[in-house]
Structure 1
């Protein structure tokens, strides 16, 4: 009976996976350059309306003489303040009172705003996002209010949380000239020094319709949705297309040693950070599989070897930060007992050397393939997930149909490619070795 249930579950997963691979969508552009993506799925009375802007933390505010970090993230907050037709403080009330939810998030590469509503409120969602694009109120009251909100977010989410600074510590050592070296949340001194005119100019520079993509997904009629999109977004004026000209990083050809002190920790950590290719490159997909092999779950190689078997670490793993212009691959470990950071890094390196010298087993490789099949299904198992995938694939990957074909990339990866990529990128002379140490708090 147990075997029968397992076979049945497998067949259901295969059927769901095959279905999930075929997401139908339609695209068109308004005259002002706004790209629109529609996905119709009438199985549940829910609709997602999202707008992704081609602006992120790498795009600084201010001026060339006085550049400001953190502007993209700041706008993620500021553009909920209100509009010409939505009073200050009313945005969230309107959404919740109409049975919806909303959120926004910012990476170093893009900013995404979205609402999820019962499908009979599609028009409301489109109107609200058009208001954000067409009539935002950017004034000193809103700037001052959100400045305090961002400061509190930084204190609660980063400054006062253990190990939450380690990405910043790695990125500022891995990147010297590219703005990926900056914190996505920004430096508070930069935000304090910014003027209202700088914020207004940032909106003009980056928030035009021709620098954005609108996705509407769920229980819609596409013909009616097109009319509503045209109605609410056609009057937004196109603007000059922003340009970027980031400096190129010199390759890392010898180990960079660094130290960071965190007053919120008692146990030190060792971290090794490597530069990796942009997320559109095939090698980036392969590194995702490397990461899953080494550290996804308690049966992963690093956890089993260093935590379970040798009992040298409290925790160990990898973090792969995928970015458009080049990512960060980070190996880390927290030592157990008398284990030194040097010893722990040596043990982690031994697992990397094994991957460089030998192909991973067929059994482990099949587990990886199954894991990525499952991830693929789960990522597109909701309307909200499909909407996010569609607009991300269009905006960042220049291939919206990745929602249907990305799994084929993972299926085509070979064990030899995994070995080759580990040899190519994960070498000691190409990394930052960061000792992340406790710091005694001297404020008291």
Structure 2
């Protein structure tokens, strides 16, 4: 009885936290097409200026992959009014931090400053957009930086090519088929004019979302935004061809040999719909059920009880156009990858056949309530969510309402999604193996 009361108390407290977490914002569009989102939070004297550009690896020329990620680095080189190598000095010298990241769908830049430096953050981001210096010195410098990043994070990292190998075999037409970091040969072959043309095409205000979040005066902030961004010329509309993949109807088999590993990995990947769909959220819940924590189905069965795997997991790699639902495992002892895959498949069949228990379902609901609270627990997280929901989902208020979608998902939908998407004839089976002696010779 005591445990029940404690559990009920936790749920009620969590429910209160979720209700209190509603994110207030205002948003509007400048005449040049730049979308602006403002979120005021006076709880701490900090402010974030961030800009998300709707350009990622999928927007690249297949013969020039890696451009989007390259620009994540290149656009810190300097501008007409910020000297080369001065960007980070200005930020840190004014008590701030900054960073950027790239995906297949977008590129995101941000600064975190004490709130009295908001104007500086806005000016710097307007400089990145209006006056970037893209010259050969910067290209050559960042080319070496990107090569080193690839060596550290991909080439010399155990299982570092996993996602790239899955993508390469899952997609034959869509530009998700290449790695976000791209090809070093493509970057080496690119001309300065090609980099400048990429910037001119995608780094335009009508392809960008500006977010200001934190402590600020709204009227003054709107005035500064108009001052620094309002006069930037609108670019040509960015158009994208909708590329559809042929459905997978027979198992795809592939092999990759990684010189950085000793233990093979069994991998199964299924093509899934856009992250904007309801089914994508259902698949999120399935991955949580299967592999989130030591009490999850796959971990409990294959790591704890049967001791057949060192590690096992499932995750929904969800993106703007398509997703990939990936199952993986590292066999232990005498267990073969094939045997481990058979055991994993048994759990998928259970999901396709039986409704999950009410207890498991309530646990899922609690996990997603907690994730919702945590995702909006910092101004930095809120800024990123606001930009993402506007740009990639087309609905900025999902920052408040997406949790309602997760709350409304039923046990029956979980079963139906498993039946619809997670079938052997709809997947890639990737043998991710240590490099053989024969291959090394």
User: What's the TM-score bracket when you normalise by the shorter of the two chains?
Assistant: over 0.9
- Out of 333, 342, 357, the residue aligned to residue 338 of structure 2 is 342
RMSD, aligned CA: 1.6
Aligned to 2:250: 254
TM-superposed CA distance for 1:242, in Å, is 1.2
SS at match of 2:99: strand
Give the structure-2-normalised TM-score. Answer: 0.97
Matches within 5 A, 1:375-414: 375-414=371-410
TM-superposed CA distance for 1:5, in Å, is 7.5
- Out of 210, 232, 237, the residue aligned to residue 233 of structure 2 is 237
Aligned to 1:48: 48
SS at match of 1:127: helix
Matches within 5 A, 1:65-144: 67-144=63-140
SS at match of 1:145: helix
User: 2-side partners of 1:257 and 1:439: how far apart?
Assistant: 18
Aligned to 1:166: 162
User: 2-side partners of 1:135 and 1:389: how far apart?
Assistant: 27
SS at match of 2:285: helix
SS at match of 1:141: helix
User: How many pairs are equivalent?
Assistant: 439
SS at match of 2:260: coil
Deviations 1:32-60 (A, max 9, x none): 11110011111111111100001001011
User: 2-side partners of 1:111 and 1:3: how far apart?
Assistant: 46
TM-superposed CA distance for 1:443, in Å, is 7.4
Unaligned 5+ runs, structure 2: none
User: 1-side partners of 2:330 and 2:355: how far apart?
Assistant: 27
Aligned to 2:57: 57
Aligned to 2:316: 320
Deviations 1:253-308 (A, max 9, x none): 00011100000000001100100000001000000000000011111100001111
Does 1:426 pair with 2:422? yes
TM-superposed CA distance for 1:6, in Å, is 6.8
Aligned to 2:18: 17
SS at match of 1:74: helix
- Out of 362, 365, 371, the residue aligned to residue 369 of structure 1 is 365
User: 2-side partners of 1:178 and 1:379: how far apart?
Assistant: 30
Deviations 1:129-181 (A, max 9, x none): 00000000000000000000000000000100101111111110000010000
Question: Any conservation in 1 of the 2:284–2:315 contact (CA below 8 Å)?
Answer: no
User: 2-side partners of 1:12 and 1:361: how far apart?
Assistant: 24
TM-superposed CA distance for 1:388, in Å, is 0.7
User: 1-side partners of 2:91 and 2:8: how far apart?
Assistant: 44
Deviations 1:91-118 (A, max 9, x none): 1111111111110000000000001111
User: 2-side partners of 1:5 and 1:214: how far apart?
Assistant: 43
Unaligned 5+ runs, structure 1: none
User: 1-side partners of 2:237 and 2:394: how far apart?
Assistant: 17
SS at match of 2:57: coil
Aligned to 2:171: 175
Deviations 1:347-384 (A, max 9, x none): 00000000001000000000000000000000000111
Give the structure-1-normalised TM-score. Answer: 0.96
Does 1:32 pair with 2:28? no
